[in-house]
Structure 1
Amino acid sequence: MATLEDLAQVLADLPEVTQGERHGHPTWSVRGKGFAWLRKFSKADIKRFGDQKPPAQPILAVNTADLHEKEGVLAAGIDGVFTIPHFDNFPAVLVELIVIDPKDLRDLVVDAWLSAAPADLAETFDG
């Protein structure tokens, strides 16, 4: 089970991460390119869950390098990682923090950072 504190630590370990806000939600970027953000479900999202209980907040969205990587992440069956119809054809997955293992969270956030970081910065990262 990961927490917002675990997320904060992963983000603090990554070079040149800045926190901003987009649509009223915390968003993290590297050199101006966003790679992760907290996301609440819209009324339409909740309606699509039907009788199923939506995953618990907080929900983190993280970019993937492309749709192929997204499919690989989803196919890996990592507890707490999912997608919704709103994210169809968009290279990102959603993460239910109270379910995901902190190590898996770190891997996903680092991969998202690597997909957004400029090559010169990514090459110097040793984590």
Structure 2
Amino acid sequence: MPGWDAVRRIALALPETTERPSYDGLPAWRVRDKMFVWERPLRRADLDALGDTAPDGPLLGVRVIDLGVKEALLADDPSIYLTTPHLDGYPAVLVQLDRISLAELTEVVTEAWYARAPKRLAAAHRAAQGPTSG
């Protein structure tokens, strides 16, 4: 089960990433000052909205490229990905860190970085990674 050290290691390995607290003082990672992943505990309104389905483990907020990707992640594995009314209409999901594999965490953090990185920086990073199979 990956934790905050894994999130930190994955995020900071991406080009031009910095770690700086979010507006609420919790850890957040940014590329050129655009937040792409952050610690996001559930707030009272979230708990009220989720009721008995509210998870109690650590949650990572993750930016996605668009609402279609958000819906796909939520449908793909609701045991890992969730959302709250606060995130309605916003391209981000919450990830249950105690349920995601390290490989999948690496993928979602990296994709979040691509969603927020400037196009030239993202293209340079993709080129440096070489061709991928798939």
TM-score normalised per structure 1: 0.90
Q: Is the 8 A contact 2:12 2:19 kept in 1?
A: no
Which aligned pairs between 1:1-127 and structure 2 lie closer than 5 A? 1-21=1-21, 22-50=23-51, 52=52, 54-77=54-77, 79-125=79-125, 126-127=128-129
1:64-108 alpha-carbon deviations (Å, 9 max, x no partner):
011111112222226411111211111000011011111111111
Q: Is the 8 A contact 2:64 2:93 kept in 1?
A: yes
Residue 23 of structure 1: how far off its partner (Å): 1.6
CA distance in 2, matches of 1:38, 1:116: 17
CA distance in 1, matches of 2:90, 2:53: 23
Distance 1:6 1:78, change over 3 A: farther
Q: Is the 8 A contact 2:12 2:18 kept in 1?
A: no
Which secondary structure does the structure 2 equivalent of 1:25 belong to?
coil
Which secondary structure does the structure 1 equivalent of 2:35 belong to?
strand
CA distance in 1, matches of 2:97, 2:37: 13
Show structure 2 runs of 5+ residues with no match: 130-134
CA distance in 1, matches of 2:95, 2:59: 6
Give the structure with the larger helix fraction.
2
Q: Is the 8 A contact 1:78 1:104 kept in 2?
A: no
CA distance in 2, matches of 1:66, 1:14: 21
TM-score normalised per structure 2: 0.86
Which secondary structure does the structure 1 equivalent of 2:2 belong to?
coil
Show structure 1 runs of 5+ residues with no match: none
Name whichever of 8-17 and 71-80 sits farther off: 71-80
Give the structure with the larger strand fraction.
1
How many residue pairs were aligned? 126
CA distance in 1, matches of 2:60, 2:81: 9
Where do 4+ consecutive residues of structure 1 move more than 4 Å?
Answer: none
Residue 24 of structure 1: how far off its partner (Å): 1.7
Percent of matched pairs sharing the same residue: 37
